[in-house]
Amino acid sequence: MSLVDSNAINRYHGVAHIHLSNQTSMEELVFPKLITIAYSKSILKACHSAIATDEEEVKFDLSKSQFISPFGITILAGTISDCLLKEKKVWYTRPKHRPTRNFLTRIGFDDFFHLKKELTEIRESNIQLRKLVALDPSYTDQIISAFSRSLRMSEGVKGLLKLSLNETMSNAFEFAQSHKGCYVCAQVYPNAKRIRVCITDFGIGIRQSLMSSPKYRHLHDSFEAITLASKDGVTSRATGVGGKGLPTLLQFLGANRGRMVIVSGDGKVAWDFQKSKEPKRQGMSAEFGGTIVSMRIRTDARGAYIMKGESVVEDVF
Q: Is pLDDT at 315 greater than 50 in this prediction?
A: no
Q: What is the pLDDT of residue 3?
A: 54
Q: What is the pLDDT of residue 216?
A: 83
Whether 227 and 249 map to the same domain: the answer is yes
For the segment 16-36, the average pLDDT, to the nearest whole number, is: 68
Q: What are phi and psi of 163, to 5 degrees?
A: -60, -40
| Per-residue pLDDT tens digits for 167-208 | 999 888 776 666 778 999 999 999 999 999 999 999 889 888
| Per-residue pLDDT tens digits for 65-121 | 999 999 999 999 999 988 888 888 888 889 999 999 999 988 888 877 766 655 444
The answer to whether 136 touches 173, Cβ cutoff 8 Å, is: no
Whether 267 and 149 map to the same domain: the answer is yes
- Spell 53-70 as b/e; 16+ CB within 10 A means b: beeebbbbbbeebeebbb
Please give the C-alpha separations between residue 198 and each of 54, 63, 70, 217, in angstroms, as whole numbers.
30, 23, 5, 28
Residue 120 lies in a domain: no
Q: What is the pLDDT of residue 175?
A: 67
For the segment 280-297, the average pLDDT, to the nearest whole number, is: 91
Q: If you average pLDDT over every residue of the chain, what do you get?
A: 83
Final residue before a domain boundary, out of 112, 141, 165: 112
The residue range of the domain holding 102 is 2-112
Q: Which of 54-63, 227-236, 260-269, 286-295 shows the lowest mean pLDDT across its residues?
A: 227-236
Pairing of strands 27-30, 57-61: parallel
| Per-residue pLDDT tens digits for 195-245 | 999 999 998 898 888 888 888 888 888 999 999 899 987 876 655 556 788
H-only helix segments in the chain: 40-52, 70-85, 98-106, 109-112, 137-150, 155-174, 206-210, 222-229, 245-256
Whether 141 and 45 map to the same domain: the answer is no
Count up the domains in the chain and report the number: 2
Residue 230 lies in a domain: yes
Residues 6+ apart with CB under 8 A from 27: 49, 50, 53, 55, 57, 58, 59
Q: What is the pLDDT of residue 232?
A: 86
CATH of the domain at 80: 3.30.750.24
Residue 102 lies in a domain: yes
Q: Is pLDDT at 39 greater than 50 in this prediction?
A: yes
